[in-house]
A and B are shown apart, each in its own frame.
Chain A
Amino acid sequence: MADNQEPAITEDFLSAALKTRLNATHVEVTDMSGGCGASFTSLIVSPDFVGKNSLKRHRLVNAALKEEIARIHAWSAKCQTPDEYAKEKAATGGNDGPPMDGTNAQGKVEGVTE
């Protein structure tokens, strides 16, 4: 935060970055920072994911947010195509969102500090 050179990494910042860099049509970023540094989890919906397996999708996201991910403690993502997102939303009654695996009952990351 004290660093004037680089923008602070926030939910909004990451959201905007994913929309421009990955053509994401829908993004939800949730701050799950607990006791061990900045942590974010995300749901990313982008047509760029069409025809790519899970690993390739995550690699796309990792590349798009290379600098940002390097500066935070933890990063989690769920990558869906617009079709998959629509289907899951319909199937779960609108209950689709960022993955919270790895967080505690309060949705925060616990672990060692850097």
Chain B
Amino acid sequence: MLTRSLFSRQLFAAASRPAIAPKAVSSAFRPVLFYQNRFLSDATRQAIDKAVASAPVVLFMKGTPETPQCGFSRASIQVLGLQGVDPNKFAAFNVLEDAELRQGIKEYSDWPTIPQLYIDKEFVGGCDIIVSMHQNGELAKLLEEKDVLVKGEEGAAEEQTEKKE
């Protein structure tokens, strides 16, 4: 219970930082085809390549960090906030804004669900993996290694990862 309330408080602090959504990149996603396309077109693949490379930490989610539209996206953004991911090194893409992206990212990552986390252009996983890596300390280690945390805000994440729910 204590952990949960800590979760939400810190999350909102993190989420209210000036995040996210690089406009130039997301405009590449203005829908070409509305209907779901079984085969990832070159254009979509290139646009996703660009999105994945747009920041060291990239989350494809439903809704925005400020207003997630799904519990799994909410949990994932909470974890990233708790870990102290630097907003300047983070980008979020709202798949609900673009049908092409929404379908395309599933094929691109060979992963059937949203959210999806990329770190350094490498697919990390969805909500289950993000949460379990948060709990077992692997995520803190990875983010540290990749140097994507806010400076001087260590501690919060370390304390949290020791508490297993």
Interface positions of A (Cβ within 8 A of B): 36, 54-55, 58-59, 62, 66, 69-70, 74-78, 99, 101-104, 109-112
Contacts and interface: CB of A to CB of B under 8 A. Distances in A.
Q: Which of A58, A70, A109, A111 has the most CB of B within 10 A?
A: A111
A112 B62 contact: yes
B113 interface: yes
Contact of B132 (A78, A102, A103, A109): A78
Contact of B75 (A55, A59, A75, A101): A101
Given A74-B113, A111-B62, A112-B96, A58 B129 contact: yes
Nearest first, the 6 A-B pairs at minimum CB distance are A111-B70, A102-B72, A102-B71, A101-B131, A102-B75, A69-B112
Contacts, number: 66
Contacts of B124: 55
Nearest to A65: B112
A101 B127 contact: yes
B71 A78 contact: no
Interface string B67-107: 00111111100000000000000000000100000000000
A103 B63 CA distance: 16
A54 B132 contact: yes
Contacts of A111: 62, 69-73
Given A104-B71, A111-B62, A112-B62, A55 B112 contact: no
Interface string B104-130: 000000111100000000011111110
Nearest to A99: B128
B133 A54 contact: yes
25 contacts: A54-B129, A54-B132, A55-B123, A55-B125, A58-B126, A58-B128, A59-B110, A59-B111, A69-B112, A74-B72, A74-B113, A76-B127, A76-B128, A78-B128, A99-B131, A101-B75, A101-B128, A101-B131, A102-B70, A102-B127, A103-B71, A104-B71, A111-B71, A111-B73, A112-B69
A109 B71 contact: yes
A36 B71 CA distance: 11
Contacts of B71: 101-104, 109-111
B112 A70 contact: yes
Contacts of A109: 70-72
A3 B127 CA distance: 30
A112 B69 CA distance: 6
Contacts of A78: 128, 132
A58 B125 contact: yes
Given A59-B111, A99-B132, 14 more contacts: A54-B133, A55-B123, A55-B125, A58-B126, A59-B110, A62-B111, A66-B112, A74-B70, A76-B72, A77-B128, A102-B75, A109-B70, A111-B69, A111-B71
